[in-house]
């Protein structure tokens, strides 16, 4: 990408999209094309086609998606598969029609089988059953990957797919019912501290392992790959560092300054036992993350306190 290349960031108001915009602006890219949901409904095929025909973006970051935590995925599976399939289909096809030079599609580590060998290599995709609680979302994301691969094969496009691990950071969703584990936990501990509670109840057993990536590190990796990677295979983006949910809860408690105790609601689902990505492909290309979990939690909590309503 050149500094004046026309770049469309789909979903620029979300967690990932906003981080990509921050990274592009920091890098001196001056010709960003951004549309809010009111300005462009990505579920509307005609509107998306007209937008691409008029604006003719050269590069596309496909960060728009319906996302949520284990509760939301279990409750609204039809929404997750429908909305994500339609968004990615509309944008990928319009990108082909308008000769976009390169597109980066953002997937998710939940695309991999539930009981995958660890760490998870890119080639483990489609080698086993998915985690049932987020199967609909995962299938939609897998479809996006296969779509990009198919368009490259049939039409000679340059559409790449990246698979980030669990994300968190500035502009995250802190809704207690529909958000991911880390932002929900930050909010729960913060509100407990404000109320003076003596206890915080966390879902699950605390035994499952997770890997967390600060979203600004993800954005940096995406810009790096857009400039440096033209391979056909998907690329994992992660940290190679794992924590149990119990360890995460203790770290969040420390970050927030909550003085009470932690208890566990073992009637709630744990989800996939372990999701630890092999990022050797990305490391071999020359990129590594910079923000530690402790640093990222401090930045995220500071943003939440400042912006919470």
Q: Catalytic residue positions?
A: 137
Look at residue 10 and give its three-state secondary structure.
Answer: strand
Q: Is the dihedral of CA 20, 25, 28, 29 positive or negative?
A: positive
Other C-beta atoms lying within 10 Å of the C-beta of residue 281 = 18
Which residues pair with residue 263 across a beta bridge? 201
Assess contact for 164 and 227: CB atoms under 8 A.
Answer: no
CA distances from 137 to 125, 234, 273 (A): 15, 18, 18
Identify which of 129, 148, 171 has the alpha carbon closest to the alpha carbon of residue 91.
Answer: 148
What DSSP line would sit under 45-90, residue for residue? Answer: HHHHHHHHHHH--SEEEE-------HHHHHH-HHHHHHHHHHHHHH
Distance CA 230, CA 28 (A): 22
Identify which of 184, 218, 215 has the alpha carbon closest to the alpha carbon of residue 202.
Answer: 184
Other C-beta atoms lying within 10 Å of the C-beta of residue 3 = 10
């Amino acid at each position: 990408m050149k500094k004046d290349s026309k770049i469309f960031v789909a979903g620029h108001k979300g967690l990932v999209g906003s981080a990509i915009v921050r990274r592009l602006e920091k890098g001196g890219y001056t010709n960003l094309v951004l549309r809010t949901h009111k300005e462009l409904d990505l579920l509307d095929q005609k509107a998306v086609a007209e937008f691409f025909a008029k604006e003719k973006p050269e590069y596309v970051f496909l960060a728009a998606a319906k996302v949520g935590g284990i509760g939301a995925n279990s409750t609204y599976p039809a929404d997750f598969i429908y909305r994500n399939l339609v968004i990615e289909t509309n944008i990928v096809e319009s990108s082909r029609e308008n000769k976009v030079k390169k597109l980066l599609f953002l997937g998710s580590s939940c695309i991999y089988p539930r009981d995958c060998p660890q760490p998870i290599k890119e080639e483990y995709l489609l080698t086993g059953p998915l985690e049932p609680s987020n199967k609909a979302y995962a299938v939609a994301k897998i479809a996006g990957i296969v779509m990009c691969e198919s368009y490259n094969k049939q039409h000679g496009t340059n559409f790449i797919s990246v698979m980030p691990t669990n994300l968190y950071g500035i502009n995250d969703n802190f809704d207690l019912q529909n958000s991911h584990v880390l932002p929900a936990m930050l909010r729960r501990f913060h509100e407990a501290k404000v109320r003076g509670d003596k206890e915080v109840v966390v879902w699950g057993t605390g035994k499952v392992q997770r890997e967390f990536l600060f979203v600004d590190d993800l954005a940096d990796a995406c810009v790096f790959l857009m400039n440096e990677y033209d391979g056909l295979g998907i690329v994992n983006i992660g940290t190679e560092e794992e924590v149990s949910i119990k360890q995460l809860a203790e770290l969040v408690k420390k970050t927030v300054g909550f003085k009470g105790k932690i208890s566990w609601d073992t009637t709630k689902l744990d989800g996939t036992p372990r999701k630890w990505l092999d990022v050797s492909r990305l490391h071999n290309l020359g990129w590594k993350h910079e923000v530690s979990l402790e640093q990222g939690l401090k930045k995220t909590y500071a943003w939440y306190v400042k912006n919470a309503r």
